[in-house]
Amino acid sequence: MIKFKKMNILKIFLIGICVLTFIVGIYFTAILFFEIPDGLAMTLSYFLGQISGFLTILYILTTILLLKLVSTRYKKKAWISKIILIFGFSLALLNSLPLIATPFSIHAENEFNLAYGSDWRSTIPNQIESYMSP
């Protein structure tokens, strides 16, 4: 009986952490897509685009964990699982948009040389060269 009660408390605690993660995820997504002039939100907006891959994985794992925890409680109410699934994957998709929208190239060095030439350093004036990275 005591073991069952401890497991029940642990499930409720984990469900609470998952819901809290989703609430923070909504806030982070709002910061990511809308300009919020708040001090903390403005500071977070600089970093959220950089950690969007991590947040995407976090929200997918949270969705799976919450589905696992809730499915044992409400077997007759399948709509709860569908709402959690849609909400979690939507949050993950929205947070993966900065990662998807970032252009990348496997052959970046070759493309750079094709665009600017291999002797691009010789066209930099001497006054500006001291400000350039080596």
Of residues 42 and 3, more confidently modeled: 42
> Dihedral through CA 36, CA 59, CA 70, CA 24, nearest 10?
-20
User: pLDDT category, 42, cuts 50, 70, 90?
Assistant: confident
In angstroms, the Cα distances linking 105 to 21, 87, 110, 112, 115 are 33, 32, 10, 10, 14
In angstroms, how far is CA 111 from the centroid of its own chain?
A: 29
On average, the pLDDT of the chain sits at: 84
Query: Which comes out higher in pLDDT, residue 86 or 40?
Result: 86
Q: Please count the residues of the chain.
A: 134
Out of 16-20, 27-31, 40-44, the most confident range is 16-20
Q: Which two tokens stand for residue 82?
A: 């569908």
* Confidence band for 90, pLDDT divided at 50, 70 and 90: very high
* Whether the model pTM is above 0.75: no
Nearest to 32 by CA among 18, 44, 19, 20: 44
Taking only the tens place, the pLDDT of each residue in 98-115 is: 888 877 767 777 888 888
